[in-house]
Amino acid sequence: MSTETERQTETIPEWKREEVDEIASFLDAYDSVGVVDITGIPSRQLQEMRRDLHGTAALRVSRNTLLVRALEEVDDGLEELTGYVSGQVGLIGTNDNPFGLFQQLEASKTSAPINAGEVAPNDIVVPEGDTGVDPGPFVGELQNVGANARIEGGSIQVMEDSTVLEAGEEVSRDLANVLSELGIEPKEVGLDLRGVYADGVLFEPADLELDVDAYRADVSAAAGRARNLAINASYPTAATLPALLRKAGGEAKSLGLQAGIEDPDVMPDLIGKADAQVRALAAQIDDEEALPEELQDVDAPAPEPEPAEEADETDETESDDDQPAEEAADEDDDDDGDNEDAAGDALGDMFGD
């Protein structure tokens, strides 16, 4: 019998079969399943991360060959995750959406020291300021790794922010010792999500990294613009109907006031308008003896401010009528003419003309 035939007929140990079945049950239990990188995470910290995830997500670590076999057996698209199973990895399952899972994993990362021989994940900077270390050989160690340091004021000072290693470069033993002495932890320790499968879609970290605050602001702005558009287009919905009714009521009242319609709701404003027009005209007449006694010593009334509610509505709808400036100016001129005619008629009636 050939070696290849022997390999094909080889019986899988029972413990492996049971492990694959348990992993498959784990995969079936969650809506979203991902592969996370656990490289370099000490066992104690990994256990702490498991506890932190409890109630929202679960982590399953096993041999990579068994993880791949379980992913392929479950199928349902999860076999697409097998391409991420390499090195030190684990499976993570959650009923949350992939975006929520990614945010949770990123938020759970903590800083950690970096050891000699490791590759810097980002630029390593020794910050400006007092190191708190007494004068001694350490100033030379700082200078050797590229920090601008000197003795000043009885202690070792770093004179400016000093980049001592760029991202992607290997950490030397001397630099690791300096960073440890200063308490600088340039490395983040946590579960790095390589890929997650949910609702038939495979997501990678680049797809899930969102600025939540900016996204929320964009949605809020879009909702505001949609509401204003609906109000200006007179499109009734549960959100726009109250504003549309207020707008319609204000326009109807304004029309009734301009047309002099003797409606119970308009009459108080019509009377107030007529009184203001008469007083304004009376204030322009120099001969007070020509005026009735009740109009003598009358000052022109101050213009009344717009009602607060109408002003707020204009702000909310971003100029509901979107009326061109020229048309608005023409209407103001027409209103002034109407006001003067109405004031003249009122005085004529008063003097019996």
Rounded CA separation 230/223 (Å): 11
pLDDT at 222 (0 to 100): 94
Asked, for residue 225, whether it belongs to a domain, the answer is yes
Answer yes or no: do 203 and 70 share one domain.
yes
Instruction: Find the helix or strand (DSSP H, E) in which 206 lies.
Output: helix 205-208
Give pTM, 2 decimals: 0.52
pLDDT at 290 (0 to 100): 63
CATH number of domain containing 178:
3.90.105.20
Residue 211 CA: distances (Å) to CA of 191, 208, 214, 215: 20, 10, 5, 6
pLDDT at 51 (0 to 100): 87
Q: Is the dihedral of CA 289, 295, 296, 302 positive or negative?
A: negative
pLDDT at 331 (0 to 100): 46
Asked, for residue 162, whether it belongs to a domain, the answer is yes
pLDDT of the chain, 353 residues: tens digit per residue: 444 444 444 577 888 999 999 999 999 999 999 999 998 787 888 888 888 888 899 999 999 999 999 999 887 789 999 999 999 999 999 999 999 899 889 888 888 888 899 889 889 999 999 998 999 999 999 999 999 999 988 899 999 999 999 999 999 999 999 999 999 988 888 899 999 999 999 999 988 887 778 888 999 999 999 999 998 898 888 888 899 898 888 888 888 888 888 788 788 888 888 878 877 777 777 766 667 766 666 665 555 555 444 434 444 444 444 444 444 444 444 444 444 444 444 434 433 44
pLDDT at 219 (0 to 100): 92
Answer yes or no: do 224 and 289 share one domain.
yes
Answer yes or no: do 172 and 198 share one domain.
no
Answer yes or no: do 77 and 204 share one domain.
yes
Answer yes or no: do 201 and 222 share one domain.
no
Asked, for residue 115, whether it belongs to a domain, the answer is no
Residue 140: give the domain boundaries. Answer: 124-184
Answer yes or no: do 200 and 252 share one domain.
no
The two beta strands, 110-112 and 187-189, are antiparallel
Overall number of domains in the chain: 3
Answer yes or no: do 254 and 334 share one domain.
yes
Asked, for residue 290, whether it belongs to a domain, the answer is yes
pLDDT at 213 (0 to 100): 84
pLDDT at 350 (0 to 100): 39
DSSP string, 140-158: HHHHHTT--EEEETTEEEE
Asked, for residue 325, whether it belongs to a domain, the answer is yes
Answer yes or no: do 103 and 158 share one domain.
no
